[in-house]
């Protein structure tokens, strides 16, 4: 009779986690390519897992794709929270989040394209950039830093600017992503009522290092 040890369930959980992560990663690659109707068999082959393993984690391709998008948004939002946690000025928090997001389009192109391909849903999402941008806009209005009569409309403008900027940076690889992003961020700050000098100074401040994305493309 073989005695089970406490490490065996841990190994099983780790194996399940690796399988799920492989499926999510494969799904994100297909989403980035705009392949929304790829067969489940093709997804499992790309993830190098069995068909049965797929149904241990997801009931459908659509459920997997939703999870892939949500995990990309969660990662992106968690990174922004980490890199902005020591800032008190809500106007700077907003600007820094936007400036970092613009740079991540080039640093993590696959996950950037996942988010861009789901762009119409991002402005109303409760994950990722949208709720944080909405929170920062409202905080800046309350602090007298921004003038925005309708934060929801302001958020719509920010979402459109972020998505169009990301698409432009992919379509024009020769364009300087940092310069373009900072220019758009500065224009947004001015639109929200910040004086020209303040907007320019905030968008010239050094940014925290994003570092190299783990596993080559999964930091966003």
Question: What is the spatial distance between Cα 91 and Cα 88, in angstroms, rounded to a whole number?
Answer: 9
- CATH for 78: 1.10.357.10
Nearest Cα residue to 31 out of 102, 109, 104 = 109
Whether the per-residue pLDDT at 216 is higher than 60: the answer is: no
In this structure, is residue 111 part of a structural domain?
A: yes
Grade residue 99 by pLDDT with cuts at 50, 70 and 90.
very high
Domain count, the chain: 1
In this structure, is residue 94 part of a structural domain?
A: yes
Grade residue 217 by pLDDT with cuts at 50, 70 and 90.
very low
In this structure, is residue 1 part of a structural domain?
A: no
Structure tokens at 100: 């970092």
In this structure, is residue 138 part of a structural domain?
A: yes
Q: What is the pLDDT of residues 193-211, one digit of tens each?
A: 999 999 999 999 999 987 6
At residue 198, the 3 state secondary structure works out as helix
In this structure, is residue 2 part of a structural domain?
A: no
Q: What is the pLDDT of residues 36-73, one digit of tens each?
A: 889 999 999 999 998 888 999 999 999 999 888 888 88
| Domain membership of residue 168 as a residue range | 7-216
In this structure, is residue 203 part of a structural domain?
A: yes
**pLDDT score recorded for residue 75:** 82
Average confidence (pLDDT) over 70-85: 85
Half-sphere exposure of 86 (CA within 13 A, CB side): 3
Q: What is the pLDDT of residues 13-27, one digit of tens each?
A: 888 899 999 999 999
């Amino acid at each position: 009779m073989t005695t089970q040890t406490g490490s065996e369930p841990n190994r099983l959980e780790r194996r399940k986690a690796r399988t799920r992560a492989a499926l999510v990663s494969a799904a994100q690659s297909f989403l980035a390519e705009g392949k929304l109707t790829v067969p489940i068999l093709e997804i499992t082959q790309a993830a190098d897992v069995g068909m049965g393993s797929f149904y241990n984690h997801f009931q459908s391709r659509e459920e997997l794709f939703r999870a892939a998008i949500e995990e990309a948004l969660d990662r992106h939002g968690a990174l922004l929270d980490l890199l902005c946690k020591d800032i008190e000025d809500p106007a700077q928090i907003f600007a820094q989040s936007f400036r970092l997001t613009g740079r991540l389009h080039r640093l993590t192109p696959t996950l950037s394209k996942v988010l861009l391909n789901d762009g119409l849903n991002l402005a109303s999402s409760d994950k990722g950039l949208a709720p944080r941008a909405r929170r920062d806009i409202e905080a800046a209005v309350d602090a007298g830093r921004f003038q925005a009569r309708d934060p929801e409309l302001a958020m719509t403008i920010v979402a459109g600017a972020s998505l169009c900027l990301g698409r432009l940076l992919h379509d024009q690889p020769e364009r300087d992503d940092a310069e373009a992003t900072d220019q758009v961020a500065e224009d947004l700050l001015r639109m929200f009522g910040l004086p020209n000098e303040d907007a320019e100074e905030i968008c010239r401040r050094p940014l925290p290092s994003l570092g190299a994305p783990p596993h080559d493309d999964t930091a966003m």
